[in-house]
Amino acid sequence: MPAPAVVTGAIGIGVLGCGDIAWRRMLPAFLADRHLRVVAVASRTGERAARFAAEFGCAAVEGYRSLLDRGDVDAVYLPLPPGLHAEWIRRALDAGKHVLTEKPATTSAEDTAELIALARANGLVLMENVMFAQHSRHDRVRRLLADGVAGEVRSFHSTFTIPARPDGDIRLAGNLGGGALLDNGVYPVRAALLLLGPDLEVAGAHLMTHPRYGVDIAGSALLYRSDGVAVQLTFGMDHHYLNDYHVHGSSGRLSVDRAFTPTADLTTEIIVARQGRVDRVTLPAEDQCAKTVAAFVAAIRAGTCPDPGTMLRQAMLIDEIREHARRMRR
């Protein structure tokens, strides 16, 4: 494979695919970061790439392989469906490009482990775009828990549910890695890892299958930590919109609403409930998308992958949740 070039100026970034999140969130964030230069957007059809290129002032490329062949592209962003991630992450790493991929990095722990090892061997960054993890609220929650404001942690509950998807939505396509577990179930799993650490095991899980599309449309999982902390996760995409988490302790509870999708202008809160009182810890608005882009740039400059262990443990837990649900069906 080509050796990754040492990037001394702005990092040239290309986009593999014309997903909605690229248009709404990531391309504007790339343009706003002075350390990045948006070089090109690739699509399977030239027409769609041309529309993106006209909006964001970059080149339009027909075919993903053609973008990877460009010498002015140092890094790529993948907003492709999950079922395509492993193939194109591998191809990008083989082409000497750093990779920022939408979550989940792949649809299996085996593929995720292989690609982490490939990135490491090639001196490249592979980062999963889990934007909420960059928001400072969650660091503050960790500090509050460490300070004992809720006493000893007893349990963790997290939910991410969204309304029903329209016909034709890629999240309903099983061959593209669709389904609620891989789409929004990733968020509660990652939140549990973020706050409780990697020592989590799956005790049971249930997935409800869409009668027409055959993908999981809703699910829940029960995890535990070796010290007895219980973890309950709920996810789905035929529901009222909700994303939150609650940490229950021996003497209090910490709650975070809109835990995964705060807008850049939203002042956020952590609610601390204890016997006879409720306190609200208020944090200023911040742009978790911009912070994710900055973290990717910093990782490229430093030459280190950010937190590959958590990315792999997340993939392993998702595999375990899927397997426990299969056993339940049998």
- Residue 245 CA to residue 233 CA, distance in Å, equals 9
CATH among 3.40.50.300, 1.10.3720.10, 3.40.50.720, 3.20.20.70 for 11-129: 3.40.50.720
Q: Is 103 a catalytic residue?
A: yes
**The CATH number of the domain covering residues in 133-286:** 3.30.360.10
Q: Determine the pLDDT at residue 46.
A: 84
Q: Determine the pLDDT at residue 6.
A: 57
CA distances (Å), 180 to each of 30, 63, 102, 104, 206, in order? 28, 29, 15, 12, 12
* H or E segment to which residue 15 belongs: strand 11-16
Contacts of 328 (CB under 8 A, 6+ apart): 204, 205, 206
For the chain of 330 residues, list the mean pLDDT of each consecutive stretch of 10.
63 96 96 98 92 96 97 98 98 98 98 98 97 97 97 98 94 96 98 98 97 96 97 97 98 98 96 95 97 98 92 98 90
Residue ranges, comma separated, of all CATH 3.30.360.10 domains in the chain are: 133-286
> Phi and psi for 272 in degrees, rounded to 5?
-110, 110
Active site residue: 85, 103, 248, 324, which one?
A: 103
Q: Determine the pLDDT at residue 8.
A: 67
Q: Could you report the per-residue pLDDT of 186-226, keeping only the tens digit for each?
A: 999 999 999 999 999 999 999 999 999 999 999 999 999 99
- Residue 8 CA to residue 67 CA, distance in Å, equals 21
Residue ranges, comma separated, of all CATH 3.40.50.720 domains in the chain are: 11-129
| Percent of all residues in the chain with a pLDDT value above 90, rounded to a whole number | 93
- Residue 218 CA to residue 188 CA, distance in Å, equals 13
- Share the mean pLDDT of the chain: 95
- What are 50's two structure tokens? 């041309």
> Phi and psi for 282 in degrees, rounded to 5?
-100, 135
| Predicted structure pTM score | 0.95
